[in-house]
């Protein structure tokens, strides 16, 4: 089977593998589409089982970024970088510089930012060898760490999804199960707590669990079973593929809305969710706040402009839900269709110019 035959290959404009024996760098940069602007998406460092798993992630995530940016109405295309390795033990400044040089070799077609396994320091190191990096604190520029804005978008999106599914804008007493309380999940959970929600959380990291338990009064459960908690909202905010053949029949929540990428293990699982009467907020719509902040830094938007655009995520989700209900289709299909139509319209405009 060739790259072009893989189920997650979607006519990507380019897929490039990089190595650097001196630092141990093994990475893939996937550029899905640049119709709307330069491809933008974070670098993820993860101990993938093998190169095939890393490639699958890069292909899926880069396509998701194309759709995410289109749905957020940003002048950006979709791309993603993945580095094979454990960030806790394999990461070094030398490796980050090697990765930055690979990003730079694409001449601005791809702009990187933070993702899983990366932090502010890594971005600063990458920025010493390429200017095609954003989404971290830079003196004199708006934006910075995208996590708080991602969390705001998730919180805004949960409110919109609950309003549509449950008919209430009041979150007081709402039972929410947050899977993953790292930077995004914890901040979203904090806002939910302030709005009166009752929190159940799970996280593989003990310090994250303790922080949520002590500061938010959250009940802690196992990561393997949190999806099946008797709650109103299940909010996946860790890694993807949490909506699958095993979990979907066990979900008791009427709403699934969280910050994790690629929550549906496969597209057909969106139909399973619909059949269960669960309203699903498409992940790349609800978690768009981070890339909005990154885009704002690239183009010099004010903090107020970035926040206002992020708060429109609820409006966009309501449009998706309304159309999905009218057409009797899963919400992810409607969001995909809207994103594709926006990209197609931009392509047609370019051709006509």
Active site residues: 80
| Other CB atoms within 10 A of residue 304 CB | 9
Please report which helix (H) or strand (E) contains residue 166, including its range.
helix 147-166
Spatial separation of the C-alpha atoms in residues 220 and 231, rounded to whole Å: 14
- For tokens 């594709």, the residue is 340
What three-state secondary structure class fits 100?
A: helix
92, 161, 169, 183, 243 from 79: Cα distances, Å: 23, 28, 35, 22, 24
Spatial separation of the C-alpha atoms in residues 79 and 72, rounded to whole Å: 15
Spatial separation of the C-alpha atoms in residues 308 and 241, rounded to whole Å: 30
Structure letter (DSSP) for residue 133: B
Residue 31, judged by CB atoms within 10 A of its CB (0-12, 13-18, 19+), counts as buried
Strands (DSSP E) found in 186-268: 198-202, 219-220, 233-236, 255-256
Q: What would the two tokens of residue 111 be?
A: 């702009």
Quick one: CA dihedral 300, 122, 202, 279, positive or negative?
positive
Spatial separation of the C-alpha atoms in residues 94 and 225, rounded to whole Å: 40
Question: CB of 282 within 8 A of CB of 331?
Answer: yes
Query: CB neighbours of 274 closer than 8 A, spacing ≥ 6?
Result: 280, 329, 330, 331
Please state whether 300 falls in left (phi above 0), alpha (psi between -120 and 50) or beta: left
Structure letter (DSSP) for residue 199: E
């Amino acid at each position: 089977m060739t790259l072009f035959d893989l189920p997650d290959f979607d006519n990507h404009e380019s897929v490039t593998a990089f190595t650097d024996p001196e630092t141990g760098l093994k990475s893939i940069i996937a550029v899905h589409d640049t119709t709307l602007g330069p491809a933008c998406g974070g670098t993820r460092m993860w101990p993938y089982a093998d190169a095939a798993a890393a490639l699958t992630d890069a292909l899926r995530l880069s396509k998701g970024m194309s759709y995410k940016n289109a749905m957020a109405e940003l002048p950006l295309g979709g791309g993603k970088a993945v580095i094979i390795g454990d960030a806790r033990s394999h990461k070094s400044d030398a490796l980050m510089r090697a990765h930055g040089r690979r990003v730079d070799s694409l001449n601005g077609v791809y702009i990187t930012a933070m993702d899983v396994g990366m932090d502010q320091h890594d971005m600063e190191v990458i920025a010493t060898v390429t200017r095609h990096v954003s989404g971290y604190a830079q003196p004199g520029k708006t934006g910075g760490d995208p996590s708080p804005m991602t969390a705001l978008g998730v919180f805004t999106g949960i409110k919109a999804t609950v309003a549509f599914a449950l008919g209430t804008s009041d979150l007081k007493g709402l039972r929410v199960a947050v899977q993953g309380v790292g930077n995004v999940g914890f901040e979203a959970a904090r806002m939910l707590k302030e709005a009166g929600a009752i929190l159940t959380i799970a996280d593989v990291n003990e310090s994250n669990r303790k922080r949520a338990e002590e500061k938010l009064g959250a009940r802690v459960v196992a990561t393997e079973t949190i999806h099946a908690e008797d709650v109103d909202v299940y909010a996946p905010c860790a890694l993807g593929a949490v909506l699958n053949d095993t979990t979907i029949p066990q979900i008791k929540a009427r709403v699934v809305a969280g910050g994790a990428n690629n929550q549906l293990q496969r597209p057909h699982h969106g139909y399973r969710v619909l059949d269960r009467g669960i309203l699903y907020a498409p992940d790349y719509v609800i978690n768009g706040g981070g890339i909005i902040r990154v885009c704002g830094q690239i183009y010099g938007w004010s903090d107020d402009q970035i926040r206002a655009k992020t708060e429109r995520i609820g409006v966009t989700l309501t449009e998706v839900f309304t159309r999905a209900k009218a057409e009797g289709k899963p919400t992810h299909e409607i969001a995909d269709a809207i994103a594709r139509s926006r990209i197609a319209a931009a392509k047609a405009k370019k051709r006509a110019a």
